Amino acid sequence: MSTAPGEGDRPPLAGLRHVALFARRFEDTVTFYVDVMGMKVEWRPDADNAYLTSGVDNLAIHRATVDAAEEGQRLDHMGFVLDRPEDVDRWHEFLLGHGVPILAAPKTHRDGARSLYCSDPEGTTVQMIFHPPLAKGDGPEPAAS
């Protein structure tokens, strides 16, 4: 395994368990993931956004505008889950130090999550997020076997 420059000071990741989708058929898409796939609605802050979970992840569904749905990709962004809110700020400094474009600086959201947005080399939006229900030690208890 190779060691990239600066790897020793890289903050830890807790995993990739968050995906966000644009949906033209918003209600149908929410219904599919809830009724067919068995996810639960974690939060619906408004009529255009739904956050679903299976207990260890987070799927955001955002109502797509006609323009975004016709011309753009369906993926809004992907998110890497972090264990502590201060890790968002550590990642911000780390990414800036590596010349990564920052799209939105660290911010604490209405639901208590804290995140930042950056861009990968292809222009995909990547979120670094502390989300309390997904953070190590704060998530749901494992199912009994």
pLDDT digits (tens, 9 = 90+) for 107-123: 999 999 999 999 988 78
CATH of domain 10-130: 3.10.180.10
CA distance 84 to 82: 6
pLDDT band at residue 141 using 50, 70 and 90 as cut-offs: very low
User: How high is the mean pLDDT of the chain?
Assistant: 85
| φ and ψ of 112, to 5 deg | 95, -10
**Residue 47 confidence (pLDDT):** 97
| φ and ψ of 56, to 5 deg | -130, 10
What's the predicted TM-score (pTM) here?
Answer: 0.66
pLDDT band at residue 5 using 50, 70 and 90 as cut-offs: low
**Are the beta carbons of 52 and 34 closer than 8 angstroms?**
yes
Query: pLDDT tens, 91-105?
Result: 999 999 999 999 999
Domain boundaries, the chain: 10-130
> What residue has token string 């569904």?
61
**Residue 139 confidence (pLDDT):** 39
Query: pLDDT tens, 29-58?
Result: 999 999 888 999 999 999 999 999 999 899
How many Cβ atoms sit within 10 Å of the Cβ of residue 61?
A: 24
Residue 21, beta-bridge partner list: 61, 75
List Cα–Cα distances, 15 to 27, 28, 112, in angstroms: 28, 28, 19
Handedness of CA 140, 143, 144, 145 (dihedral sign): negative
**Residue 4 confidence (pLDDT):** 59
